[in-house]
Amino acid sequence: MVTPDLSVSLGGLRVKNPVMSASGTFGYGVEFTPFYDISRLGAVVVKGLSLAPTPGNPPGRIVETAAGMLNAIGLQNIGVERFVGDVVPRLEDAGATFVANIYGKTLEEYEAVARRLSEVPSLGAIEVNASCPNVREGGMAFGATTGGIAQLTERVRRCTGKTLWVKLSPNVTDIASIAKAAEGSGADAVSLINTIVGMAVDHRTRRPELSNVTGGLSGPAIKPVALRMVWEAAKAVRIPVIGVGGIQNAADALEFLLVGASAVQVGTANFRNPRACVDILVGIEAFFREQRIARLEEYRGGLQREKIP
């Protein structure tokens, strides 16, 4: 059988396949070039970029949990200027399609980062991290309410002609309404979910395991939650939905595609296996060949509600 067509359009960005890295788990992409050709991926989504370099939180920043991990890295990054000057040329040399995840403490910071990245011709898309606390609103995350997500999306949309994805927080009561608010305010696609807020404590020392006390839970533990939220969002919006959360292998990725995701991002699995993304891609290709599925669209969103006899 001929090679399946896995290409998909994610807003204004068409990628060769639906497998991408998740921001914050893949560095800036170039760190993984010793392991495989990163241009094989649909896209490399780099770690979150801010206006100025950020040192992040002090140790401890990572704690292993029963079915995943908690992290409180604090969005450590080199800043948008150094990314544009030092990293972008290396990603271009690698032939990778790349997406910049951005964040800020204020709307103005988001706007400034988006404007700077809009000057990079080779950038495929901008992904807005909507889980950051708004310092002018008492620390409530921008993406915690429909009004907050709408305002953030609209403000960044005005600043850039780049394809715009918005990464949604799972720490909400109605993900469908949040996704619709992003869509209505100019998002070309939504990615979900970001990490779930959690914590770990040591009962002997009586102290939190993380210096920040709370952190983001990721890994296999969150996959059922992510699947449910992707399913709800995909039913609510017309724009592409990118599934994220607990994807460890090709079967996990296929489940997200089945419930309506147009593409997937692989995160925590990269810490355990630096080849996780490309291994998942190979697994999807093999499954499509086995099932004689010629195109991604033949499979995506094909969840059957009735029990198969």
Could you check whether the bond before residue 308 is cis, i.e. omega within 30 degrees of 0?
Answer: no
In the chain, the amino acid numbered 70 is L
124, with CB counted inside 10 A (0-12, 13-18, 19+), is buried
- Residue 106 gets which letter from DSSP? S
- Residue 83 gets which letter from DSSP? I
Show the tokens assigned to 97: 């399609």
Whether residue 159 lies in the annotated active site = no
Helix/strand/coil (H/E/C) assignment for every residue in 16-82:
CCCEEECCCCCCCCHHHCCCCCHHHCCEEEEEEECCCCECCCCCCCEEEECCEEEECCCCCECCHHH
In the set 96, 132, 230, 233, the catalytic residue is 132
**What is the β-pairing status of strands 125-129 and 189-192?**
unpaired
Q: Which residues are catalytic?
A: 132
